[in-house]
Amino acid sequence: MAMIRNIKKLNARLLFTLIFMSNPTLGDSQPILAKIQMTINQQIVIIDLYDNSASREFLMILPLSLTFTDFAHSEKIAYLPKPLTTTDMANTLIKTGDFTYYAPWGNVALFYQGMGNHSQLYPLGTITKGKNILANLHSNFMATIEQINPK
């Protein structure tokens, strides 16, 4: 029985790798719009924002303070004051370190563990520093988000 479970896990990993490697819209090859930082209890998380319509709208509402909660032991989520436009965006497979927008709920999500996929989950950027900070936060937290060196 354990051998069958291990084979299933291996097949799932192999399938993920094949999908990830064969899909040009996946990965970190998207153009970067800006760098933002989240300050959480005097700790800094750095995120590269992708250049897309939702990220541009998100950048326009910064600086912003949001309360984040844990969701499904894999992501930290916070609700935005207004919805973002996603009409020109494609969803993609989300992986650890991604900063996303979930349109049905109007929330941003930071994936600190695992991966996800949903037809209305859109990539806004990727965490370049501080993933471990998020994984070690076990309660709700307030974060201040601002652009680094705005033009």
Per residue in 94-121, pLDDT tens? 889 999 999 999 999 999 887 767 788 9
* Residue 117 phi, psi (nearest 5): -160, 135
How far apart, in whole angstroms, are the C-alpha atoms of residue 146 and residue 88?
25
Domain count, the chain: 1
Q: Does residue 1 form part of some domain?
A: no
Q: Does residue 135 form part of some domain?
A: yes
Q: Does residue 137 form part of some domain?
A: yes
Higher-confidence position of 92 and 106: 106
Range of the domain at 89: 31-147
Q: Does residue 90 form part of some domain?
A: yes
Q: 118: which DSSP letter?
A: -
Strand partners, 143: 66
The two tokens of residue 93 are 């497979």
Q: Which residue has the tokens 């979930």?
A: 102
Q: Does residue 11 form part of some domain?
A: no
In 3D, which of 52, 109, 51, 103 has the Cα closest to residue 82?
103
Q: Does residue 71 form part of some domain?
A: yes
Q: Cβ-count burial of 56 within 10 angstroms (0-12 exposed, 13-18 middle, 19+ buried)?
A: middle
Q: 85: which DSSP letter?
A: P
Summarize pLDDT for 120-140 with one digit per residue, the tens: 899 999 999 998 898 888 889
Task: Give the Å distances, CA to CA, from 27 to 2, 76, 125, 133, 147.
Answer: 32, 20, 10, 22, 23
Q: Give the pLDDT confidence score for residue 151 in this predicted structure.
A: 61
CATH number of the domain that 101 lies in? Answer: 2.40.100.20
Q: Give the pLDDT confidence score for residue 6 in this predicted structure.
A: 52
Q: State mean pLDDT over 56-81.
A: 95
CA atoms within 13 A on the CB side of 69: 4
Q: Does residue 18 form part of some domain?
A: no
Q: Give the pLDDT confidence score for residue 67 in this predicted structure.
A: 97
Whether pLDDT at 8 is above 60: no
Q: Give the pLDDT confidence score for residue 17 in this predicted structure.
A: 41
- At 21, the pLDDT band (50, 70, 90 cuts) reads very low
* Residue 144 phi, psi (nearest 5): -100, 130
How far apart, in whole angstroms, are the C-alpha atoms of residue 111 and residue 38?
14
Q: Does residue 16 form part of some domain?
A: no
- At 24, the pLDDT band (50, 70, 90 cuts) reads very low
